[in-house]
Each structure stands twice: as structure tokens, then as C-alpha cells.
Amino acid sequence: MALQVRRGTNSERLGIVPAAGEIIYTTDTKQLYVGDGTTAGGTTTIAGTIDSLLSDTTPQLGGNLDLNSFNVTGTGNIDITGTIQASGNINLGDGVGSDIINIGGAISGHLVPDNDSTHNIGSPTKYWSEMWIRQLNVDSQITAERIQADIIADDSTVVFNAATGQVAAAQITGTLANDVNGNITSTGASVFSGTVNLASAAVSNAAFNLTGDIIGNITSSGASSFSGTLDLNTATVNNAAFNLTGNTTGAHTGTMDGDLTGSVFGDDSSVMLDGVNNLMLANVSNTTTTTSTLQVNGNATGTGSLQFTSVGAVASAKDQTVMSATGYYNDTDGHYLGISRARGTQGAPTALQLGDQVGALIFADLSKNVTAAQIQGFIDPAGTLGASVAPGKLAFMTSNNSGVPLERASIDSSGTFVTNGVHNGRTTAPTGIPFYSLANSNVVSDGPRLLMRRSRGTYASPTTVAGTDNLHRIVFGGHDGTNYVDSAFINASVSGTVTTGNVPTQLEMKTMNAAGTISTSLTVKSEQKEVAFAGPASLVTFADNTARDAAIATPSAGMMVFNTTGTKFQGYTGSAWVDLN
């Protein structure tokens, strides 16, 4: 049978004090209450019963809640103070975007997605406001309007310094597709490729390499270096002081003060300046050219003056004219190839002194770098200097077999020609045409002379000749089919004691006989009173007196002849011929 307890509405319950153990059921709230004898309306605490959970607005568990493989479902909120531990999957929200997860505490542990590169934090329309992260490791791409932080490379070097707002240039590689706003400051070597537009920028104290086009003005107060192609065809370069490495296109107007390193080529790719061998090889045509060393492989022409410290003209084949001076003008005087010199400086020249060398033409073996022959011009050491006078001397020098240059001949300011060796005159002229001619025109009685002198000692310090010394000789010879043979001589030799102002001399005539023996035929003694014949003296012979008189129309006293008529030696007394035997 049914058990029915005391009942009534909830307001009626609150009006009574149920006895201890008395059960009251409220018909409007459908709740059970138990009286304790003191509490009005009783109490809802019924330990260990389901009804107590349903009726208690703040129920509490006395131990752990085991779901026994069941779920907690319902609509409402979960408000827990403490730690929630769960294993397995946790699903929060229904994925339509209306559910909100509020986190008011700290997260301990790692947030790791279940799949790599699959899930997002935020969306294109929902951004997180701010994030504080100690280290950010990004596998692919960072898209941001701005980044406020240092950028550190893998080797711990600073690529970007947030405090200074500077990027270390050494760490930048690749292409900057957009504009660089602000200052670019470099303490090392910077390399740019592409187009750097400096039209509205100021580059100060720049020391970097530019590859590509430069648009705008370049102003430098220090040392600037450029490599590659610098096209200044439409640009104006003022007061430039910089180094150029590579190619330049366009005209250079003004003065280049500094070093030009490298080779210079013409439009036909021929070498004009050889930067490897330090030579100027091109044709030179200018009003005034001043240089230290000029080597011309082509033509060097000048309408004014060509001034050099050293000139080298290189021939590539025989019979080439490596240097010439030509002129085209209507005048009796010609032009000059001059060698000039002064003491002092170019701005303040001073006069040369006696014995100074003016210059020289030198012929040398280029491979050995040694001199073979020279023509030297001097201020004559024996001359007399004047206000407008520079007495000259030409010296002709050749190197001997030991390589020593020696003076072989000279012409001094007095016109004296001196040879210091063998003078070998040669001619192919026919008989009767002299190969050596000495002529003189003057108004005095004395005529020209062939002067032959000798001393002992040296040219600089001559000493007296000794008795029997040969002074000089004139030698005649002929070719025997194999060699030249000296066969006749006119010899001058000392024939006595030499004193001051007195050198006793005799003349000898020597000839070669058919056996090849050379003997003295005639000697003119130094006493001037004796002529010695080495053999019989043969007089001129006539057939008779008629023949004699026809041959000697005006005889002189002392003449002797041999007349075959009567075999008579005859002499002329000054008035008549007389028989001497």
C-alpha cells in the first residue's frame, strides 16, 4: 500500500516547524524536506540520496565522481576552482564560431597541434592583439606590417639592430624589390645589384661598389671607387678625383690628375695604352704632349711640341722608319730634330758648363741592354763660353770586344777632326776619281796640310817620342787574290835626340821586290844634305841632245841626265849642258 507523508505548499511549509524526523513534501515545488524540530520548514539535507542533489542548489560531492564510462551532458556552465585533468580528446565549441573560450589563468605546458602545418591561430579577419614570445621559430613565411625586434643570424651575429634601426649590410643577400627609405650606412664593403635610384637622395662619404645604373648626381669629398661600366655619355663630371676600374664610355673634358691603371683600347680594339708593359702604343697626334715614357708602334705626329722624358719607337719588321721629322712649307730653311739641355730646372734654367754633355744618340742591343755605339754632343771642354755662345764638340763612340764604350773620333769647336783608331777609307769610284780630297781656299800664302802627329803616353797625358820611333807612315798595298798585301811605304821616323822644340826626322821610301821582300830604297836624312839610295841611282836617259832638249826645254842648274850618244853623263851648269865623263 502507498505511504503518504505530510504535504502542502512551500509557503505552508515555511510556516511550521516540523518535528525531528518528520518528512514534508511541497506540492508546488515538488521537494522533500526533513524536520529537525528547530528549523522552520525543515531542511533539504538528506545525505546519500539523489533527491538531495536535485533539490540542493549548491550540491557538493563527498568524494570522487566516477562516470563509469558515461558522459556528463546538459546545457549550462562548468565553474571549477582547481585543476582539470583529462586524457584523450577535448572538444570545445561546435566550430561555427559562436562559442567563446575564456582563459583567465596561465597555461602550463606546450600547445602542440595534432597535425603539422594544418591548424591556424587566428584568421584573416580575427587577429590576436599582442603576443609575448621569447623565441619564434618559423618554418616558412612571416607576413607582418612591422617587426620590432633584433634579427639574429644562425651564427649569433646581429642582422638587424632594433635599437639603432640598422641592418648589417654583410647579412643582406638577394634582391630588395621595393624602396629603401632612410639612411644606408656602411662601415665595410657594400654590393648592390639592379637599379639604385639616388635622384632625391644624398650619398655622403660613400665607399661601396655599384653594379647597374646610377641615376642622379654623384658628389664625393673623399676617395670613391667604381667598377664595371660607368656611362657618363650624358652626364657632367666636375672636379672628379676618383679611381676607375673597368670600362668608361663618353668624353673626358678637363685635366685628369692622378693614376690611370689598366690598358686603353681604340674603337678598333687596338691597344693604345699597354697597362701590362707600361707602354703607349698608339698613333700620337697632338699640339703638345708631355710624358715620361712613350713607345710608338705606329705614327707619332705633332703640330707643336712633343716633350718626353724618354721616347721609345718600336719597329715590328725591318726597313721600318720608326722616327722621322717631316715638314711642308715654302722657305729656304729646313726644320730640326733637336736635343737641348740646360742646368737648373725647367722653370729656372741655367747655362751648361764646359765639358757638360748635351745629349746623345745611343745604339744598343735591346735584349742585352748594352750600348753598341753612341754619338755624343758636348760643350767643348777646350772652348770658350760666352753670353750667347756654347762651343760644341761631337764625339763618336763604339764599344770594344769587352763591351767598354770608347771614343773613336771627335770634332771640336775649332773644326779639328780627330780619329782615335784606324781610318779606313773605301771607294768603288773608277780610276782617276779620288776618294779622299783636301781643299782649301784662303788669302794667305800657306796652304792646307795633312797633319800626322805622334807621342808616347796617352792622349790626355802625352810624353816625348824616343830615337828611332816611327812617327807615321803612308802604306800602299794590293790584293793578291786571297788577302790584302802592304807593298810600299813612305815612313817618317825619329833619327836623333829629341829636345824641346826639336824632333830630328828622316823619310824613308820602302818597296817590295818580286820575291816579296820589303827594303828601303831611298832615305832622306834629317841633316837635309844627304839622300841615301839603297841601290844604284838611275838617271833619265835620252837618245841624243835633240831628244834631251825637247824633253827639258828650260833646265835648271844641277840637273843630270844620261845621253846614250857617246854614253855620256851630262850636267846642266845653269847656262849649258856639259859632259861629266
Per residue in 73-90, pLDDT tens?
878 777 777 777 777 777
**DSSP summary character for residue 279:** E
- By the 8 A CB rule, do 153 and 159 touch? yes
Q: Which residue has the higher pLDDT, 49 or 153?
A: 153
Supply the pTM of this predicted model. 0.42
Residue 222 has pLDDT above 80, yes or no: no
First to last CA, the chain: 226
Please state, in angstroms and rounded to a whole number, the distance separating the CA atoms of residues 559 and 66: 181
Check residue 214 and give its pLDDT. Answer: 63
Q: Which residue has the higher pLDDT, 158 or 179?
A: 158
**CA triplet 331, 290, 362: central angle to 5 degrees?**
75
- Three-state secondary structure of 146-213: CCCCCEECCCCCEEEECCCCEECHHHCCCCCCCCCCCCCCCCCCCEEECCEECCCCCCCCCCCEEECC
Residue 290 has pLDDT above 60, yes or no: no
Residue 448 has pLDDT above 80, yes or no: no
- Least confident range from 55-59, 355-359, 404-408: namely 55-59
User: Hey, how many other C-beta atoms are within 10 angstroms of the C-beta on 56?
Assistant: 13
Residue 191 has pLDDT above 80, yes or no: no
342: confidence class by pLDDT, cuts 50, 70, 90: very high
**CA triplet 288, 293, 294: central angle to 5 degrees?**
60
**CA triplet 258, 261, 264: central angle to 5 degrees?**
110
Residue 226 has pLDDT above 70, yes or no: no
Check residue 98 and give its pLDDT. Answer: 72
Mean confidence (pLDDT) of the chain: 79
Check residue 95 and give its pLDDT. Answer: 67
- pLDDT, mean of residues 335-354: 90
Q: Specify the pairing of strand 243-249 against strand 225-231.
A: parallel
Tell me the helices (H) and strands (E) count for the chain, helix number first: 3, 35
- pLDDT, mean of residues 259-288: 70
Check residue 155 and give its pLDDT. Answer: 82
Q: Report which listed range, 138-147, 202-211, 411-420, 540-549, is most confident.
A: 540-549
293: confidence class by pLDDT, cuts 50, 70, 90: low
Q: Specify the pairing of strand 349-350 against strand 343-344.
A: antiparallel
Domains of the chain: 1-59 (2.10.10.30), 262-319 (no CATH), 354-426 (no CATH), 452-536 (no CATH), 547-579 (no CATH)
Residue 175 has pLDDT above 80, yes or no: no
Residue 156 has pLDDT above 90, yes or no: no
Secondary structure class of 301 (helix, strand, coil): strand
Q: Over pLDDT 70: what percentage of the chain?
A: 71
Check residue 220 and give its pLDDT. Answer: 63
Residue 563 has pLDDT above 70, yes or no: yes
- Least confident range from 96-105, 245-254, 433-442: namely 245-254
- Three-state secondary structure of 213-268: CEECCCCCCCCCEEEEEEECCCCCCCCCCCEEEEEEECCCCCCCCCCCCCCEECCC
Check residue 513 and give its pLDDT. Answer: 93
Per residue in 509-527, pLDDT (tens digit) is 999 999 999 999 889 988 8
